[in-house]
Structure 1
Amino acid sequence: MKRQGSAGQGLALLVVLGLGGPLAAVPAAAEEPKAPQVKWGQCPDDVVAEAAPTELRCATVPVPLDYADPEGQQIDLSISRLAAADPDERRGVLMLNPGGPGGSGLALSALLVAQGLPTSVTDRYDLIGMDTRGTGRSTPVSCGFTTDSLYYSNIPPYAVDDAAVTAQAKVAEQAAEQCADNDDGTLRHLTTANTARDLDRIRAALDEETTSYLGYSYGTALGAAYASMFPERADRIVLDSNIGDTHLDRDGLRRYALGMEQTLPDFARWAARRHDSYRLGRTPEQVRASYLTIAGVLDDTPVAGIDGSLFRLLTFSHLFKQSQYPKLAQTWQALREGDRTAARALAPVPEETADGTLSPNDNALTVFLAVTCNDVEWPEDVNTYRRGVTADRERYPLFGAATANITPCAFWPYAPAEPPVKINAEGPRNVLLLQNRRDASTPLRGGKMLREKFGDRARLVTVDDSGHGVYVLGKNSCALNTATRYLVEGRMPTKDTFCRAD
């Protein structure tokens, strides 16, 4: 497939100018940038409402669109601050990222406070949330996906056969072309490396010599990139629910299927204990069989617009939190019984805005595609994905034929401008990795991979729990205490740690 040229394409996960020649390579750790003055003010009304009753202050920080041309076009990053509650105990800033890429983080500090973030942390840190480049209020990007678009999820649909892979290839190609058609030249500059450079610009704008960092899910890739590119400026780094590297590639996406195989048994045990209520099976094995049966029936006869592919995706997403298990069981019931009214009530339906776009879905879909496709080269041959689907359908029957399916990255019109950030194992021992043993989207394998790559710089805390998110978002006291002790006192575990279930 022919790709348009992009900045620095002579160097080896959204963007359109087709410049004739490559630009100079951007240094991994640039010289100390000029620090614009941050002017804190009122947050946008939607952020105020989302953060209530916690009160945040917001600001914008200008950064280069293209770090190879630092004096060229600038874009705005929107950031928020929850100031340290005890100025006498304040030790610096703690930057936050919720994942994605494409997740808005402006109200994340308030969410963590509401979930029980210890006051020993809020006393000592200014909590800095943000919308990363391209996201939300930070000079947002859009591929123009609407309620009529066939592309609705960054996880490909489950392919029941080879013909389904071919059909998805057409959808993926159309999505990539739509992104190119709607691009104003911004998309190609959405990368993990550039976002890590943005973090350092924010640090400088806040007049801090170093920054601490807490990132979840894809936020672990961003944090790993920052700690690798700017080891001398990275203070205490906590990476929670790790994807395994500084980028999401095809292997990383396929690990979602491994995560679902490891996590569904928790739901199956839960449902089996409640068989009299939900009638999904008296044993975990019977519950798993119910899943496969319902999916197969829906492949042939959808209910209320929910086919087998969407059913599998709904199940995957509801495994992120055990609090979602009751709704998932109800959904299985409704679909098994063909109850269209109940199915419509339980299945999420995106709301359409006045201009026909999905908000924030269009923006989130766009940023995810841009960063994922720009970070690393993806295979372009449809047959490569067809073979992967065949293999993973057998290896991971629950979801493998979805996560191995073809994505728009196979047709992305821009080559990566630079190689993906390589993990830097040289530096201070300051990276704490948190990982649940069972996590649908970031299985334990991701934490082990990052631990191995960081070497002695990192320590891994493995939690005998299920779900996506450990620190504060989970309820394990051992993990909570370990991470809090590190953030507050700087006490890193001397060795990898296993936290038993509470």
Structure 2
Amino acid sequence: MDTRRLLRTSALALATAGLLISGCTGGSSSSGASASAAPGRAAPAAALKPYYEQQLKWRPCGVEGFDCATMKAPLDYAAPGGDSIKLAVARKKATGPGKRLGTLQVNPGGPGGSAVDYLQGYAGIGYPAPVRARYDMVAIDPRGVARSEPVECLSGKEMDAYTQVDQTPDDAAETARLSTSLKDFAAGCKQRSGEVLPHVSTVEAARDMDILRAVLGDEKLSYVGASYGTFLGATYAELFPDRVGRLVLDGAMDPSLPSREMNRDQTSGFETAFQSFAADCVKQKDCPLGDTSAADASLRLKAFFTALDAKPAATGESRKLGESLATTGVIAAMYDEAAWPQLREALTTAMAGDGAALLSLADSYYERESDGTYANLMYANAAVNCLDSPPAFTTPGAVESALPEFEKASPVFGRGFAWASLNCAYWPTPATGAPHRIEAKGAAPIVVVGTTRDPATPYKWAQGLAAQLSSGSLLTYEGDGHTAYGRGSDCIDTAINTYLLEGTVPPKNKRCS
């Protein structure tokens, strides 16, 4: 299991069969100043003028009705007269009827999720029709992600080996192997992507969004960000509060929390989600975890993981299903309750000795293709997370000391989550950001959405962000799964649609179910 903080929206998971998780967070500029210092206002306007005045050359691409273009931005905002970076942009024009409201930028989270894929696979065709009628729907793959000069780290075979490393080491030798795998991963990123690696922070991605806003002719930014996309949106609001239009931050992150606390919170979040799954599972005829209680189901799953640690299950291919991949498969299904039947079936066959279905769930999480290649999601995720905030832990000994608190947060997943939090310890580029409150004083009203049993972005994070933002308004969904917009709640969708179309903020402390 690799629990770098992959906080992608479940809508994208439904569209692309990818489901995600954890690591480090924060916000920074490449010059070393924290986002709280608002580095976005420090760069000379004259040096940035060519970027803000560039003309995009649109061309048909991908799905019918979509156009694509390439936008340039400074590689290093501290030296905007230097090298540039090319960023992929996609658009679907407003369909009408009704007066066009401008551009709505969207981001699915990650960090590392492709916004272009999200637009073409879901948002541009699946967002409510009234929203698509009046906004041009636009997405930009953040720097280092997908089509925007992607970070690369390992070959497919190397990544296969990496995902199978035991992330619940039982002795010094296994701990050493885990540390070595994390070091090799980081070294591979430096070797293959050393030039871009220091310049993929969330602050820089937010500044790219402002260039796109200007190039598209919008005075204000309208935006829907999910999961990590909420941190990206909040960072934009901090940098450019006077340019905030209508912002929806769904499945919110709390930027004030240090990495260790965030990882522990997320461990609790997945435990809450699993308990919800388990309580439902024991009521089903096909539940492989028994028919008594959620507590017993947890014990059975933990025993199953322990058995796989000793003897991995066959999968019909050279890779076997060990504890790490099995845990990843279970975690992946926690993002959306619609995946629970699939998880019950996968666990049933895995417990009978055939791990193929559970391996498939893990592969969807890692975005592994059938030919053995991987998307750059995991690489970009680590690059952004490790640049945005100092690591949760810097040594294996520090992880050992923290195991009790993580296992208390989740008896089933705690050890794996704690050890996975070591991932930024060996990163070749020092963190340039730090946890801090985001207030965005002077910004227009911002809607923050939280789901009460969200596994990847616990509800209290949404409460925290809404309280920090000077103009934040909390909208609550009482339910399961990751994020809320477009997931079946008419109450949530109506509230957000009304805000996006009319500018009317939901009533204070509005709750939906």
**Contact 1:451–1:458 (CA<8 Å) still a contact in 2?**
yes
Alignment partner for residue 414 of structure 2, among 400, 420, 430?
A: 400
Shift of 1:152: 4.3
Q: Would the alpha carbon gap of residues 335 and 162 (structure 1) be closer, same or farther in structure 2, given more than 3 Å must change?
A: same
- The aligned counterpart of 1:18 is none
- The aligned counterpart of 1:493 is 506
Q: Would the alpha carbon gap of residues 143 and 121 (structure 1) be closer, same or farther in structure 2, given more than 3 Å must change?
A: same
- The aligned counterpart of 2:146 is 136
Alignment partner for residue 310 of structure 1, among 325, 329, 354?
A: 325
CA distance in 2, matches of 1:12, 1:200: 18
Q: Structure 2 matches for 1:173-322, cutoff 5 A?
A: 173-245=183-255, 249-275=259-285, 278=288, 280-304=290-314, 305-322=320-337
CA distance in 1, matches of 2:256, 2:99: 33
Shift of 1:290: 2.1
Aligned residue type for 1:178: G
**Contact 1:156–1:403 (CA<8 Å) still a contact in 2?**
no
**Contact 1:97–1:105 (CA<8 Å) still a contact in 2?**
yes
Q: Structure 2 matches for 1:468-487, cutoff 5 A?
A: 468-472=482-486, 474-487=487-500
- The aligned counterpart of 2:6 is none
Percent of aligned positions with the same letter in both sequences?
31
- The aligned counterpart of 2:374 is 359
Shift of 1:418: 5.1
- The aligned counterpart of 1:20 is none
What are the superposed Cα offsets for residues 308-364 of structure 1, whole Å, 9 maximum, x if unpaired?
2222221111111112111110121122222356666776383376xx7x331xx21
Q: Structure 1 residues 135-144 or 72-81, which shifts more? A: 135-144
Q: Would the alpha carbon gap of residues 341 and 146 (structure 1) be closer, same or farther in structure 2, given more than 3 Å must change?
A: closer
TM-score by length of 2: 0.84
- The aligned counterpart of 1:102 is 112
Shift of 1:420: 5.9
Shift of 1:422: 4.9
Q: Would the alpha carbon gap of residues 340 and 26 (structure 1) be closer, same or farther in structure 2, given more than 3 Å must change?
A: closer
- The aligned counterpart of 1:415 is 430
Q: Would the alpha carbon gap of residues 40 and 389 (structure 1) be closer, same or farther in structure 2, given more than 3 Å must change?
A: same
Aligned residue type for 1:413: P
**Contact 2:289–2:301 (CA<8 Å) still a contact in 1?**
no
- Number of residue-to-residue matches in the alignment: 469
Alignment partner for residue 345 of structure 2, among 327, 330, 344?
A: 330
What are the superposed Cα offsets for residues 438-491 of structure 1, whole Å, 9 maximum, x if unpaired?
12211112212212221x41111111110112111x111111111111111111
What are the superposed Cα offsets for residues 204-245 of structure 1, whole Å, 9 maximum, x if unpaired?
111211110101111111011001111111111101111222
Shift of 1:393: 2.0
CA distance in 2, matches of 1:37, 1:192: 24
- The aligned counterpart of 1:146 is 156
**Contact 2:255–2:435 (CA<8 Å) still a contact in 1?**
no
RMSD across aligned positions (CA): 2.9
Shift of 1:381: 2.8
Q: Would the alpha carbon gap of residues 63 and 298 (structure 1) be closer, same or farther in structure 2, given more than 3 Å must change?
A: same
- The aligned counterpart of 1:388 is 402
CA distance in 1, matches of 2:289, 2:438: 48
CA distance in 2, matches of 1:12, 1:36: 28
CA distance in 2, matches of 1:70, 1:25: 16
- The aligned counterpart of 1:84 is 94
Q: Would the alpha carbon gap of residues 181 and 229 (structure 1) be closer, same or farther in structure 2, given more than 3 Å must change?
A: same
- The aligned counterpart of 1:21 is none
**Contact 1:257–1:398 (CA<8 Å) still a contact in 2?**
no
2:471 maps to 1:461: no
Q: Which runs of 5+ in 1 are unaligned?
A: 1-5, 14-23, 49-53
**Contact 2:308–2:321 (CA<8 Å) still a contact in 1?**
yes
- The aligned counterpart of 1:127 is 137
CA distance in 1, matches of 2:93, 2:239: 27
Shift of 1:408: 3.2
- The aligned counterpart of 1:447 is 462
Shift of 1:104: 0.8
**Contact 1:165–1:386 (CA<8 Å) still a contact in 2?**
no
CA distance in 2, matches of 1:79, 1:224: 21
Q: Would the alpha carbon gap of residues 417 and 254 (structure 1) be closer, same or farther in structure 2, given more than 3 Å must change?
A: same
**Contact 1:150–1:171 (CA<8 Å) still a contact in 2?**
no
TM-score by length of 1: 0.86
Shift of 1:149: 3.5
- The aligned counterpart of 2:168 is 159
CA distance in 2, matches of 1:302, 1:179: 29
- The aligned counterpart of 1:51 is none
